[in-house]
Structure 1
Amino acid sequence: MWPFVGRVRELSDVMSALTEPNGKGAALVGPAGVGKTRLTDEVVALLEQTGCTVRRCYATVATSTIPFGALAAMLPADMRTANPLGRAVEHLLAEARPLAIVVDDAHLLDDASIGLLHHVIRHGHARVLVTSRPGERAELWQEGLLQRYPLGDLSRAESDELLERALDGPVDTRSASLLWSASAGNPLYLRELVVSGRAVGSLRVVEGIWSWHGAIELGGRLGELVQENLGRLEPSHRHALELLAYSEPVELDLLASLVQEEALDDLETRALIRVEASGRRTVVRLGHPLYGSLLRANCPPVRAQSHQRALAAGLEATGARRREDLMRIATWRLDGGSPISLDLLAAAAEQAWAARDVTLAERLCRAAVDAGGLDLVAHVFAQVLMHGRAPDQAEATLADVMSGPLSAADLSSLAVTRSMNLYFALGDADAAAAVLDRVDVPELPDEPRDLLKVVRALQNAHHRHVDEVLESTYEPVVPPLSVHMRLVRSLCLVHAGRYREVGEEIDRYDAEVLALHGDTPPPDHGALRVRCFALAHGGHLAEAESLALTTLEMSFDELAFIGPTSIYSVLSFCARMRGHGAQALRLAREGSAKTEEQPLIFDTIALASLASAAALCGDADLAHDALARAEKARRPAWRWTGLSVSLARSWVLAAAGDVRGAANSAMAAADECAELGALGSEAQALHDAARFGVDTSLRLAALTSTMDGPLPLAYAAHATALAHAAPTVLEAVAADFLRMGATLYAAEALASAARLHRTQGNIRAASQASARQALLMREFDGVRTPALRVDGLTHLTRRQVEVARLATSGLTNQQIAEKLHTSKRTVDNHLHAIYGVLGVTGRDELRTVLGPS
């Protein structure tokens, strides 16, 4: 049986309906596979624990025409024909009390069984629980006999939890997202995806993490379930669904022009399609993502091509006015075998790249190249190659195209792409600058010249002093390129540790982009990344994590290395700050998954993140290996991203037991950061050095006076308290860290406070600080740092921690005993021991020491 996840409220509501004095029963109503039977299993188990007699029956299509067919197992064999209902009731009355009758798939019940349940419910002979599909026979709750509880699909969080519990191990973010998208939260589909994926090897463990490899294919039991839900389809219905399978989401008007209106009405009634608003449009989607997979798999090739030709012609007839229309037409024409012009391929490739659909952009570019149109798609194709980790091929392609006869504007456009590839992929700053210089000629129009300024500033922002680059971002640049210079400026402000200004700059950027587009533009992943970094390193961890997870959900193409790689590093950083070592390591592994290939600029950050996470978990070998790979991937031109490697080096040394070497390395990293004006990274390095025993208080205090955000200020306060050996100040610093969610730093501050209290002879205060540290560390997972030495610490036992938390939440001793399924005397004894360990006399002092639960 799969784990029971979520449904806590539903379980409580159904139990109340079945056990309260005035309750008659409940009906769980939901589509196939949402977990009605699994929830019912939990209800039955709880009912039996209360001493209730449970009789469970299963209605089927086979028993739906047989009187009392579904309930036959709980009725007498000698049913009298004169009064079968009376005999059935008589038999039920002989059952032990209390009695509960549970019926699965009640929509398939025969009339006689429904009549019996009516009688039983009305006369209170038993409590009744049924499961049913929506839109089917509903007499039992429509007449007020049973309380109806609709059951929907699992949320994304519940789906992820179910996956990890079922597989008994972590699942990488990309795979969890893939399975969520495929199952749409349907637990049965999710289960069959897991079962089939494990059977064929698509779902397997890699370095302790479950991941999905390849495409999701429907087969075996999963295919049968999806086909069963689709049911028998009329030709007109299948035609409509197949068109939708190749086009969803598609405008209702376009689909309606190609199919019978009655067919769409029937399909919507059967929940096989969904009609919903999307901005100012009304669009149609399939009722479940797996319907499309099954329909496409079973559609004959000739008919599939016919569908796509019809869709392309239909959309062209409407004028193809929307931003994404050219992409759709080009795709349908390619798949449908229709002629397609080079101009359409080039325009569609531009749109696909702008939408960050790298896979589609590559396909359209290659189609154009095959047709002799390399010059039309060269700038997009080169970016596709760079993201696909083929920068040498991108450089050769652009060099070839730029050798031909081109206008100054076209030449500068290609030079921008070539320079970006040379710098961010090949790490050749001199060649990148030379390419821009060669095309910066007097006859170049203002807009292309402004673009060259933006690209120079962006590249300089990765290897020059932050003040110098910030100054250059205020040079006059005309719209729409001025918004990109604003983005470069926000990146510099992140480096400078001016995190509040970063948010303001990104807000202005978003407003200007919106004004330029006139409608809602596609999300800019660069702006989202910068905001994530500012939130995380400024100390707003919860906001950073939320935005980072949202960004990851924005259908990043696997080839788009820049977005996911840096976002994973933010999430791993936040997990490290919370003391969640295993999670930090998992996220860092995901972010560095492709770094064995051609290294690109953000790979240094990904590998440094992996080294730091491994070091935090005490895996010295992995940390050393990841750091060596990061050093190898590092380029002199990438000084800013290279700082992350220097920051990680100290923790790799610490993981190997060389704390003195770690301290020296942290100070060297701080000096390296100072040379570039990287105040944010410098503050982090100085704080690390303080954690390793170096007095960096004065330097940190001076540094953070020009920064903002609660985290840099807490760095300085922590270092100052350590330098002054002030345990009570350290406890206050721990509270500051805890408010941000930086639980690791809070625990370290408390550990230092406990040691200082003990050294100063204040044993009671030492025990209290130590106990608070222990409470925080109960949530840690495999974390090791020099400050968290366990020698001489007084910890509470796990059960004492539970009792202490419940006591500070306001529960009485009796309520705690009931919650922990133990006796009140045991709770009394635990509290007495806790008070003795902490040196307190009651709950008020306990709450003061530990804080409210």
Structure 2
Amino acid sequence: MRGEPDLGTLRVVWPFVGRVRELEDVMSALTGADEKGAALVGPAGVGKTRLTDEVVARLERTGLAVRRCYATVATSAIPFGAMAAMLPTDLRTANPLGRAVEHLLSEQLPLMIVVDDAHLLDDASIALLHHVIRHGHARVLVTSRPGERTELWQDGLLRRYPLGDLSRAESDLLLERALDGPVDTRSATLLWSGSAGNPLYLRELVVSGCAMGALRADDGIWSWHGAIELGGRLAELVQSNLGRLEPSHRHALELLAYSEPVELDLLASLVREEALDDLETRGLIRVVPSGRRVVVRLGHPLYGSLLRTTCPTLRAQSHQRALAAALEATGARRREDLMRIATWRLDGGSPISVNLLAAAAEQAWAAQDVALAERLCRGAVEAGGLNRVGHVFGQVLMHGRAPDQAEATLADVMSGPLSAEDLSRLGATRSMNLHFGLGDADAAAAVLDHVDVPGLPADLRDWLQVVRVIEAAQHGHVATVLESTYQPVAPHLTVHLRRTRALCLLHAGRYREVAEEIAAYEALEDLSEPDDGALRMRCFALAFAGNLAEAEALALTMHDRTFDELAFTGATSLFGVLSFCARMRGHGSQALRLAREGSPKTPSRPLIFDAIALANLAGTAAICGDATLAQEALARAEKARRPAWRLTGTTVSVTRSQVLACTGDLRAAADAAMAAADECAELGVHGNEAMALHNAARFGVDTSQRLTALTSTMDDPMTAAYTAHATALADAAPTALEATATAFQRLGATLYAAEALAAATGLHRARGDARAASQASARQALLMRDFDGVRTPALCADGLTHLTRRQAEVARLATSGLTNQQIAEQLHTSKRTVDNHLHAIYGILGVTGRDELRTVLGPS
């Protein structure tokens, strides 16, 4: 980071990102022999002017004379109004068009005419451009809104290039360059969603966010704090795009602002059909299919923000009462309908029953909408319905980092007059809060014993038993808990046991079976929505088994879908998956950023996931060489551990050895790794045991036999690579280490591949085999070329056999099977140059041809 950005710079000099294909296409249309020009067509704010600036800068560097003009509403009624600056002051002749053309032709250099907002041009200017283009007097580039003044491209005069919104990747890159630093994933998603990929809106969000302090840098990472609020220039831009609205149009848009996405039939029952047709034609609303329904959305997310901000309070309440009444009239048949009705009634000031609030709160909790669930619960409590929502409210408070408040609330409810059935339901919730929120396994078990009384219905007795199994999965032996997940229970509770079974299999390192178990119970339950808890387990199973690319893809998909639900505790574990994958690839800076995002920021009461997140931060900081941060994060992780969470705590133990290695104390690191492995073995957490044993091997202990024994139940490729690495280190076998590096490289775990090659290089040199040492060293150097901020005891960047970037590129293409001529064509150079590069590469690596080169460099 280079400090806070200058707001003036942010507003004026906005980086040019993406649009590479569009830029090349437009340049071809302006410089090709048979081309006449181009029209950039797109809605306001998509970057037409910014792309035009880049084109003009390129053209001017070629010596082309560029004449640029800007059409406006004010000049649209004046003949030649927009083009007045490039024309003579007096056009009062019998043929003003001819005079204008004559003046343009007096230019000495090849001429390029650029017109911004050509949809606002007057008829005379359009006629002039027609004449200039048809007769080849000048090349022309215009920008325009879609659907307006289309003569220039519909008549075939200009090649039309539609310009759309930025992709998510382009938006993220633009943010990082504009702010000169990384933006955390949630904030980047929030800004991309808020701007809908519109670069102009994105820029104004950044400028206003920095000005108000909502967007600021913490620990070198930019974050958005609070909700997006419209004001200043951003509000003016959004209002300008909305334009002047008739009362019926505003009524429809305001209803949509409080309800989107809403069924077309529901909205149509409250507004005139003609108004919806007009709004869709103007692009202010979108009518889109959603499953078997047709729903309506606003044309841009910021329209809703502005409409809600400017809507008077009484009118807003009236809108929401009308929406609630209209939905109730349909029968409220869909799962989310009760949540919508309850929310609209609360916001509209309508009377609302405790039963409706309680049912809606249960739906919101099931949908993992924590904020809404809490609001509905509090509404029910205010209406005297604490006993109706206590079981939901307790879970909401726990996941909202208020387990003490949850315990007090549930204890209070349970002290009142309740039936045995209600008491058992509340007791189950209270027990889980005591166990997972407060970390008190004994108190949790005591509550279950207290409410598990004779005479309960069978399904409630089963539920209490299921809760015991769920809690045992965090402090009991994995094999024992796994066996208990097969006990018979009521059919609707089976999913909870199978989810716990998948967790046990994950702890046991039986990663393939995790996926199989999740797939089996998802098919059995016929889930209409993805089970986020199951998907997170699948992410970890994929990552730990060595399927890094698949794990990353799934984690990113989940994160993009649930970014606004990250208050839900477990969702932050996605950062752990992404950080782990980045670490395995040697992308230390990225891994550290993700680990920071996923770790708790405040020293509030820790929850069960916090110890894992903090351990991940400590381990990531360790491989990046930041001993201070690693030790601080490890200390916080140790403090976050609870006896009730023994299995979670093993992650902290495994990390301790990495932090010690970062400080340079390898003997202590090795001892800590072995202690962690023993702790994991005692609990049956073989996945973490394998990682601990691999760390111990990296720090000098022979763990090959124990790892080999683990492979009898762990048949994943990553554990196999751990075992091969440990065995090769114990045997001091450089050739085996090179083979191990290839195995790690195929998995994408290039960090460990580089460590294996570093060890192989040292052994070759110790045996006096300079040629083999040079080859292994070159492979290590090629892998580490893509590393970023990684430092481990086994890696040494000094004295490596380096190929130049061009040599490395030629070598990669040569090992892929291309001929020298094909390589030359791909690199836009001569075959002789490629021949010379390959000759130099063979000399550096001590090989005689492509076959040996492929063997030395491994997979491309």
TM-score by length of 1: 0.95
8 A Cα contact 1:387 1:559, kept in partner: no
Aligned partners of 1:846 and 1:78: how far apart in 2?
74
Contact 1:308 1:332 in 2 (8 A): yes
Counterpart in 2 of 1:592?
599
Deviates more, 1:552-561 or 1:47-56: 552-561
Q: Judging changes above 3 Å, is the alpha-carbon distance between structure 1 residues 845 and 5 closer, same or farther for their aligned structure 2 residues?
A: farther
Q: Percent identity?
A: 79
In 2, are the aligned partners of 1:806 and 1:816 still within 8 Å (CA)? no
Does structure 2 conserve the Cα–Cα contact (< 8 Å) formed by 1:103 and 1:130? yes
Q: Relative to structure 2, which stretch is displaced further, 740-749 or 666-675?
A: 740-749
What are the equivalent positions in structure 2 for 1:318-717 lying under 5 Å apart? 318-514=330-526, 521-555=528-562, 560-717=567-724
Distance of 1:93 and 1:846 partners within structure 2: 61
**Superposition deviation, residue 125 in structure 1:** 2.5
User: Partners in 2 of 1:615 and 1:373 — Cα distance?
Assistant: 50
Task: State the AA in 2 paired with 1:256.
Answer: A
Residue equivalent to 1:86:
98
Residue 732 in structure 1 maps to residue 744 in structure 2: no
After superposition, where does 1:772-791 map in structure 2 within 5 Å?
772-791=779-798
Per-residue CA distance 1:410-437 (angstroms, 9 max, x = gap) = 2221111011101001111111112112
Asked if 2 retains the 8 angstrom alpha-carbon contact of 1:503 and 1:531, the reply is yes
Q: Which runs of 5 or more residues in structure 2 are unaligned?
A: 1-12
Whether 2:725 is the aligned partner of 1:721: answer no
Residue in 2 that maps onto 1:197: 209
Q: 1:9 aligns with which of 12, 21, 32?
A: 21
Amino acid at match of 1:700: L
Count of residues in Structure 1 that have an aligned counterpart in Structure 2 = 847
Q: Secondary structure at the match of 1:33?
A: coil
The match for 1:257 among 269, 276, 287 is 269
Structure 2: distance between partners of 1:236 and 1:708: 65
Letter in 2 for 1:311: L
Structure 2 counterparts to residues 236-315 of structure 1, below 5 A: 236-315=248-327
After TM superposition, the structure 1 stretch with the greater mean CA deviation from structure 2, 370-379 or 110-119, is 110-119
Q: CA deviation at 1:78?
A: 4.9
Q: Is the 8 A contact 2:37 2:140 kept in 1?
A: yes
- In the alignment, the residues of structure 2 paired with residue 236 and residue 335 of structure 1 have an alpha-carbon distance, to the nearest angstrom, of 22
Structure 1 distance, partners of 2:100, 2:14, is 35
- Once residues 465 and 595 of structure 1 are traced to their aligned partners in structure 2, the CA distance between those partners, rounded to angstroms, is 32
CA distance in 1, matches of 2:41, 2:274: 27
* CA distance in 1 between partners of 2:794 and 2:405 (Å): 49
Question: Using the alignment, how far apart are the partners of 2:620 and 2:24 within structure 1?
Answer: 40
Deviations 1:354-386 (A, max 9, x none): 111111111111111111111111111111111
For residue 4 of structure 2, what is the aligned residue in structure 1? Answer: none
The answer as to 2:186 corresponding to 1:179 is: no
Distance 2:566 2:508 in 1: 31
Which residue among 143, 157, 164 is the counterpart of 1:145? Answer: 157
Correspondences of 1:40-119 after superposition (within 5 Å) = 40-79=52-91, 81-96=93-108, 98-119=110-131
* Aligned residue type for 2:726: A
- Which letter maps to 1:611? A
CA distance in 2, matches of 1:137, 1:462: 67
Q: Secondary structure at the match of 1:56?
A: strand
- Distance between the aligned counterparts of 2:859 and 2:821, measured in 1? 16
**Alignment partners' CA distance in 2, 1:852 and 1:431:** 55
Is the counterpart of residue 766 in structure 1 residue 773 in structure 2?
yes
Residue aligning to 1:30: 42
Is 1:317 the counterpart of 2:329? The answer is yes
Deviations 1:596-640 (A, max 9, x none): 111111111011011001111111111111111111110111111
Distance 1:314 1:304 in 2: 15
Deviates more, 1:403-412 or 1:207-216: 403-412
Deviation at 1:539, TM superposition (A): 0.8
Q: Report the alpha carbon displacement of residue 11 of structure 1 after superposing the two structures with TM.
A: 1.7
Cα 1:752–1:278, aligned 2, differ >3 Å: closer, same or farther? same
- Residues 261-310 of structure 1: CA distance to partner in whole angstroms, max 9, x if unpaired? 11100000000000111111111110000000000111111111111111
Q: Is the CA contact 2:813–2:823 (under 8 Å) kept in the aligned structure 1?
A: no
Aligned-residue offset at 1:834: 4.1
Give, in angstroms, the shift of residue 506 of structure 1: 0.6
1:206-225 correspondence runs (5 A): 206-225=218-237
Cα separation, 1, equivalents of 2:25 and 2:851: 35
Inter-partner Cα distance in structure 2 for 1:677 and 1:126:
77
Q: Counterpart of 1:517?
A: none
1:91 positional shift: 3.3
The question of whether the paired residues in 2 share the 8 Å contact of 1:359 and 1:557 is answered with no
Tell me if the contact between 1:747 and 1:776 (Cα under 8 Å) persists in the aligned partners: yes
CA distance in 1, matches of 2:733, 2:372: 60
Query: Equivalents in 2 of 1:573, 1:108: separation in Å?
Result: 53
Change (3 A) 1:468 1:159: same
User: Amino acid of the residue matched to residue 689 of structure 2?
Assistant: E
| Post-superposition offset of 1:838 | 2.2
Cα offset, 1:20, TM superposition: 2.3
- C-alpha distance in 2, partners of 1:159/1:680? 37
Whether the aligned pair in 2 keeps the contact of 1:28 and 1:150 (CA below 8 Å) is: yes
Deviation per CA, 1:635-690, whole angstroms, max 9, x where unpaired?
A: 11111110110011001101111111111111111111111111111111111111
What CA distance in whole angstroms lies between the structure 2 residues aligned with 1:115 and 1:600? Answer: 70
Relative to 1, partners in 2 of residues 1:101 and 1:575: Cα closer, same or farther, differing over 3 Å? same
Could you tell me how far 1:522 is from its partner in structure 2? Answer: 2.8
Please, what is the CA RMSD of the aligned residues?
Answer: 2.2
Task: Output the CA distance in 2 between the equivalents of 1:373 and 1:320.
Answer: 23
Say if 2:566 and 2:572, in contact at 8 Å, map to a contact too: no
Tell me, yes or no, if the aligned pair for 2:368 and 2:568 is still in contact at 8 Å: no
SS of 1:57's partner is strand
CA distance, structure 2, for counterparts of residue 23 and residue 559 of structure 1 = 51
Q: Say whether the 8 Å CA contact 2:368–2:565 is kept in structure 1.
A: no
Output the CA distance in 2 between the equivalents of 1:813 and 1:50. 32
Cα displacement string for residues 768-808 of structure 1 (whole angstroms, at most 9, x for unaligned residues):
22122112112211101111023442233556545655776
Measured in 2, the distance between the counterparts of 1:137 and 1:845 equals 64
TM-score (norm 2): 0.95
| 1:796 and 2:803 are equivalent in the alignment | yes
In the alignment, residue 328 of structure 2 is paired with which amino acid?
Answer: E
Corresponding position of 2:142: 130
